[in-house]
Amino acid sequence: MTSSVVTSGLTKRFGQRLAVDAVDIDLPAGVVSGFVGPNGAGKTTTIQLLLGLCRPTSGTAEVLGRPISDPASYLGRVGALIEAPSFYPTLSGRRNLEVLTRLGRIDSGRISEVLAMVELSDRGNDFVRAYSLGMKQRLGVAAALLPDPELCILDEPTNGLDPAGIREMRSVIRGLSDRGISVFVSSHLLAEIEAICDHLVMIDNGRIVFQGGVDKLIDAQQSDIIASPEHPADVQALAELCIAAGKPARAEQGEVHVQAPEDWAPELNRQAMAAGITLRGLTVRRASLEEAFFAITEGQSDENGEAG
Amino acid sequence: MFGAYSSEWIKLRRRAMLLWGLGGGLFFAVLATIFTVERAVKNPSLFPLRRGRVTFAELELPTGLVHGVVDVSTLIGIVALCLFAGAFATEYSQGTLRNLLVREPRRAQLLTGKFLALATFIGVAVVLEIVVSCGVALLLAPGRGITTSAWTSATGINDLLQATLHVFLASVGYGLLGAAAGVLLRSPGVAIGASVAYVIPVEAIIVGAIWSNGDRWLPGQLLSALAHGGTGDSSYHHSLITLAVYMVLIAVGTLAVFRRRDAS
């Protein structure tokens, strides 16, 4: 599979602060890749490096096969929404997009198309100062779509959107992917990324802590098996049975939470039956992306702590 | 570069730009013309303390038609300076520069195209100011008994065109100072405040209290001399050549900063 973005040792230092620390990223083309991490982790700086807005302190990167030292060679095929969308408040949404089409020599016919894609056609002639934050965000996505890009880089596109707007944004991003456009979308909302991404890059304190398929990440995390005995009096005995089998378990509100792989659930059922405990419920709860993220970052902190 | 030039014109056609960019200069030009013509004195011996009033004899010269506009050319230049400083600094403060750089990553082309669009706008403004001011002067002069035949002579038309060129060049020079302040300081308020403060009071204090010969070398003084077609202290050619050197240095420095600085 070809790559849309490849970085090698990409580093950006602002004075004493290391914002991006030797980042190696390889994004597959044609899929939605998520870029997650807490605020201040280095997501926006990495995106700005990829867009040629700031220069790396060291390291190299290629976007669509072209080096970031020559942004003019690839930005015509890239659409971008960078952090909070910024527009001229006393120009209409349509006029704001016209500023960009003229600058980038893009067919002005695209303006109506992209306004329709983000459902702003009926407000396109209003001044941007009259737009809500959500509308500005959608206009930002429209601006990113203007060049009919091969790669779309969206920095926190769901910021300020209401639940309906978030759902629409997911649909827009999925639509881009369906058309074969590579999407690199950053967010600090992990559940949001989990819902729309195939591939994932996790960053914390400027360093990449994971990259790969979303399923691969979640599958690697320990799942919880939740067993509910028919009689509450059996909860403690069931927990002890699991511990005796080498699986950490705790009794909690009439249920036993067991840290074990998903495929141990039938074995638990058999052992409970053999011990005379009837289960009225047995469910497997897979780790969420958020839990996976914290498991990884806490693991890294521990390693760093031990190393230090 | 044409893309940057063309896209800048969308912003220049905003109502606020037309009001302050065109209206501001027009206001000063018309006001100065009315004052010049209406306060002109026929017999200077009756007004030993003329306090800046021109005489009928001065106004009846071929250069008399644009006397008022040239007198306020510094103010017209200050309007240009504010316009340029605001146009460049606002792109940073509003965050719109990032959008522009994604669509036009060739920074030299972006900066040059934007500057040329603003210079064209100032050119249109200067021509409009001079045309309206000439109309006002031609309308008021006969009523005061001022003879205007020299204004429409071949020499008068030539002086008019030269004055237009001088005021335009000086305004673009003020604009370049504003553009440099906008790029360096990145805040419209700070850029406009600092550059206006430098051009008006700071240079006046330097010339008045520290360096009496400074009016031959300081950029603001030279721009004023250029707009007037040269003064007793600083000839037109001296002003033009010295300013050309300054402007090239300022343009190269501004471009270097704009190209190298992160737009984050």
Number of domains in chain B: 1
Percent of chain B whose pLDDT exceeds 90: 52
Domain boundary among A184, A204, A219: A219
Q: Which domain holds residue B214?
A: 2-260
Same domain? For A116 and A139 the reply is: yes
**Which of the four pLDDT bands, split at 50, 70 and 90, describes residue A183?**
very high
Q: Which residues contact B22 (CB under 8 A, 6 or more apart)?
A: B124, B125, B128
Do the chains contact at B104 and A78, CB–CB below 8 Å? no
CA of A72 to nearest chain B CA: how many angstroms apart? Answer: 5
| Mean pLDDT calculated for residue range A273-289 | 85
A61-90 burial code (b ≥16 CB/10 A, e <16): bbbbebebeebebbbbebbbbbbebbbbee
Q: Report the distance separating Cα B102 and Cα B196, nearest Å.
A: 32
CA of B76 to nearest chain A CA: how many angstroms apart? Answer: 25
Question: Cα–chain-centroid distance for residue A93?
Answer: 28
A:B CB pairs within 8 Å? 84
| Mean pLDDT calculated for residue range A28-34 | 91
Q: Which residues pair with A185 in a beta bridge?
A: A34, A154
Within-domain flag for A297: no
**Lowest-confidence region among A191-195, A196-200, B15-19, B99-103:** A191-195
CA of A136 to nearest chain B CA: how many angstroms apart? Answer: 13
CATH code where residue A232 lies = 3.30.70.790
Q: Which residues contact A264 (CB under 8 A, 6 or more apart)?
A: A225, A247, A258
Do the chains contact at A53 and B263, CB–CB below 8 Å? yes
Of B15, B104, B262, the CB nearest to A53: B262
Same domain? For A31 and A177 the reply is: yes
Q: DSSP alpha helices (H): ranges in A118-250?
A: 133-145, 163-178, 190-196, 214-220, 235-244
Do the chains contact at B11 and A91, CB–CB below 8 Å? yes
Same domain? For A37 and A11 the reply is: yes
Burial of A52 (0-12, 13-18, 19+ CB in 10 A): buried
Do the chains contact at B105 and A102, CB–CB below 8 Å? no
Q: Which domain holds residue A155?
A: 3-219
**Which of the four pLDDT bands, split at 50, 70 and 90, describes residue A55?**
very high
Closest by Cα among A15, A219, A54 to B105:
A54
Same domain? For A150 and A267 the reply is: no
Question: With 80 as the cut, is the pLDDT of residue A207 above it?
Answer: yes
Question: Residues in chain B whose beta carbon is closer than 8 A to a beta carbon of chain A?
Answer: 3-4, 6-7, 10-11, 14-16, 94-96, 98-106, 110, 260, 262-264
Question: With 70 as the cut, is the pLDDT of residue B176 above it?
Answer: yes
Q: Report the distance separating Cα B64 and Cα B70, nearest Å.
A: 10
Within-domain flag for A292: no
CATH code where residue A65 lies = 3.40.50.300
Residues 139-178 of A with CB under 8 A from B: 143, 146-147
Q: Report the distance separating Cα A236 and Cα A48, nearest Å.
A: 55
Q: Check if the beta carbon of residue A140 is closer than 8 Å to that of residue A83.
A: no
pLDDT of residue A213: 85
Domain boundary among A219, A243, A271: A219
Span B187-239, pLDDT tens digits:
999 999 999 999 988 988 998 888 888 888 999 999 999 988 888 778 889 99
B231-251 burial code (b ≥16 CB/10 A, e <16): beebeeebbbebbeebbeebb
CA of B7 to nearest chain A CA: how many angstroms apart? Answer: 5
CA of A254 to nearest chain B CA: how many angstroms apart? Answer: 54
* Chain B CB contacts of A147 below 8 Å: 103
- A99 lies within 8 A of chain B by CB: yes
Question: With 80 as the cut, is the pLDDT of residue A264 above it?
Answer: yes
Q: Which residues contact A236 (CB under 8 A, 6 or more apart)?
A: A251
Question: With 60 as the cut, is the pLDDT of residue B39 above it?
Answer: yes
Question: Cα–chain-centroid distance for residue A141?
Answer: 16
Of B15, B104, B264, the CB nearest to A103: B104
Q: Check if the beta carbon of residue B41 is closer than 8 Å to that of residue B78.
A: no
Span A209-227, pLDDT tens digits:
889 887 777 766 667 889 9
| Mean pLDDT calculated for residue range A185-194 | 81
Question: With 60 as the cut, is the pLDDT of residue A82 above it?
Answer: yes
**Lowest-confidence region among A20-24, A56-60, A119-123, A292-296:** A292-296
| Mean pLDDT calculated for residue range B53-59 | 81
Do the chains contact at A86 and B106, CB–CB below 8 Å? no
Span A130-163, pLDDT tens digits:
998 888 988 999 999 999 999 999 998 888 778 8
